[in-house]
Amino acid sequence: MNADTVIDISQQALYIITMLSAPLLISALAIGLLIGMFQAATQINEMTLSFIPKLLVLVVALLVAGPWMLNLVLTYTRNLYLSIPGLIG
């Protein structure tokens, strides 16, 4: 195994991590922005007002995107395990 192979595997792993975190981060960002705009408009500065909706949106996003995320991780892991003989010799 040479340095190019290691860099390629690391690059694929970083891409998978980015794809896995994107649905959760984007949904938390969107609801945080909406709650922040609501708080700015009404001048309510309560921390729990933003925490509970973010938590609920993250649960919903995980339920919706969970099967896709699991399939992505399983595909990457399966391809990595299947490429081990080619990486060794």
Higher pLDDT, 60 or 89: 60
Distances (CA, A) of 18 to 2, 11, 23: 25, 11, 9
Q: Tens digit of pLDDT for each residue in 22-62?
A: 999 999 999 999 999 998 899 888 878 888 999 999 999 99
Question: Alpha helix (H) ranges present in the chain?
Answer: 3-42, 47-82, 84-88
Least confident of 8-17, 40-49, 68-77: 40-49
Q: How many CB atoms lie within 10 A of CB 61?
A: 19
Range(s) of the domain holding residue 84: 3-88
pLDDT category at 88 given cuts 50, 70, 90 is confident
What's the number of domains the chain is made of? 1
pLDDT of 1 above 80:
no
Q: From start to end of 2-68, where are the E strands? A: none
